[in-house]
Amino acid sequence: MRRSALAVLAGPLAFARAAPVKTGGFVFLVILLTAATQIGGVVVVLCIPVFTWTGRHLGDRKLLLRAGACIGIYACAYLGASLAVIPLAGALGRAPLPCGLVGEVSLKPRTYLTCLLNRHYAALPAGQALQEITNEFSKEFKGARIAYLDAGFPFFGRFPMIPHLSHGDGRKIDLALIYAASAATPSPIGYWGFVQPRPGDPRPCNGTKGWLRWDMAWLQPLLPEVRPDERRTAELVYALARSPGVRRILMEKHLRQRLGLDHPKIRFQGCRAARHDDHIHVEFAAN
């Protein structure tokens, strides 16, 4: 019991002397899971005593069996922890956006991976405002559904949500553009399937190289060609802009021009940030 508690407290470093390569790999895994899901790194550290116990009982030779058992244990612990943090996050002012697992909803994630990775949390006023906007939009456009991409993690205001610079406070939510004939976004995760500027469109970042502005040129030919539903996307952006709960919307200049959008809340993010012609970045007011 004492050894288990020490293992949890020391985390992977407890094994550093005996197996430095394994420890390095484990530390990397903890960092990766924390960066991707916020709680995943803590869960894997808490599982160390169970992994150790499992390894001892299954023996050294059954490597595949041990790996499978550890992955299964981790998956159960992670899912349990993901459910357990919902009331805790709620007490601290954040709630998960609907995952759309049951019934008809006006707002759902583009991919269930967003919910699985706990990247679907929003500050309570932001989540409520978005839900109201999407309910109204769905009524006006007969069952239209809005797909969200990354929102925020369950806890902490300044916790980095890679690759986003500003999603830490739970007041920023990315939404997918709407595509013709209710098609899904070209990219399966919603990001990086860009609506490319047409000849003559404004290109303020042409020739600008920034480490955050990814063009993903290699990916574009691999994605299906889907036409954006310009009318519905424009109506959605206007509905967002009209809401007192929305503070700012970020979008590429050429897309704003193409959709005929003109509103003081709709801004260009600049060239030192991610492109915003594959999604709409919405910033909500604090309350």
CA distance 154 to 149: 15
The C-alpha atoms of residue 271 and residue 54 are separated, in whole angstroms, by 51
* Cα–Cα distance for residue pair 223/191, rounded to 1 Å: 11
Q: Which x/- pattern, by CB under 5 A, does the window 155-174 give for Zn ion?
A: -------------------x
Provide the 3-class DSSP secondary structure of residue 283: strand
List the interface residues with Zn ion, window 174-233 (CB under 5 A): 174
Q: Sign of torsion, CA 225 230 235 239?
A: positive
Provide the mask over 1-40, with x wherever binding to Zn ion is found by CB under 5 A and - wherever it is not. Answer: ----------------------------------------
Q: Which residue has the tokens 């244990």?
A: 73
Select 51 or 214, whichever has its Cβ closest to Zn ion: 214
Give the span between the Cα atoms of 252 and 195, in whole angstroms.
Answer: 10
Q: Which is nearer to Zn ion, 275 or 281 (CB)?
A: 281
Q: Which of 161, 281, 283, 284 binds Zn ion (CB under 5 A)?
A: 281
Nearest distance, CB of residue 121 and Zn ion, angstroms: 14
Q: What is the Cα–Cα distance from 223 to 188, expressed in whole angstroms? A: 9
Tell me how far, at minimum, the Cβ of 172 lies from Zn ion, in Å.
5
Q: Is 110 in the site for Zn ion (CB under 5 A)?
A: no
Output 44 or 280, the one with its CB closest to Zn ion.
280
Number of residues in contact with Zn ion, rule: CB under 5 A?
A: 2
* Range in contact with Zn ion (rule: CB under 5 A) among 46-54, 61-69, 73-81, 278-286: 278-286
Residue 11 or 190: the one with the smaller Cβ distance to Zn ion is: 190
Residue nearest to Zn ion (CB): 281
Distance CA 89, CA 254 (A): 38
User: Structure tokens of 71?
Assistant: 């992955």
Are 33 and 44 within 8 A, CB to CB? yes
**Contacting residues toward Zn ion, per CB under 5 A:** 174, 281
